[in-house]
Copies of this chain bind each other. A is one copy, B any other.
Amino acid sequence: MVEQLFVIKIGGNIIDNESTLGSFLEEFAALEGKKILIHGGGKLATRLAADLNIPQQMIDGRRITDAETLKIVTMVYAGFINKNIVAQLQSLGCNAIGLSGADGNTIQAHKRKHATIDYGFVGDIDQVNAPFLQSLLQQDVAIVLAPITHDLHGLLLNTNADTIAQETAKALSALYDVQLIYSFEKSGVLLDADDDSTVIARLAPAYYQELKATEKIFAGMIPKLDNAFAALNSGVKKVIIGKAEELQQLITGHAGTSIVNE
Contact = CB atoms under 8 A, between A and B. Distances in A.
Contacts of A155: 87
Number of copies of chain A assembled together: 2
Interface string A72-108: 0011111110111011101100011111101111000
A262 interface: no
A64 interface: no
Contact of A79 (B76, B97, B105): B76
A83 B148 contact: yes
A84 B156 contact: yes
A39 interface: no
B102 A83 contact: yes
A79 B99 CA distance: 10
B154 A90 contact: yes
Contact of A83 (B74, B91, B104): B74
A154 B91 contact: yes
**Highest count of chain B CB atoms <10 Å: which of A84, A132, A139, A155:** A84
A104 B97 contact: yes
Given A95-B105, A135-B139, A86 B100 contact: yes
Given A90-B105, A98-B103, A74 B84 contact: yes
A139 B83 CA distance: 23
12 contacts: A76-B79, A78-B82, A78-B83, A86-B102, A87-B102, A87-B155, A90-B154, A91-B153, A95-B104, A96-B103, A97-B104, A135-B139
Interface of A: 51-52, 71, 74-80, 82-84, 86-88, 90-91, 95-100, 102-105, 132, 135, 139, 141, 148, 150, 152-156
Given A77-B79, A95-B104, A98-B102, 10 more contacts: A52-B52, A71-B80, A74-B84, A76-B79, A78-B82, A90-B154, A97-B103, A98-B100, A98-B103, A132-B139
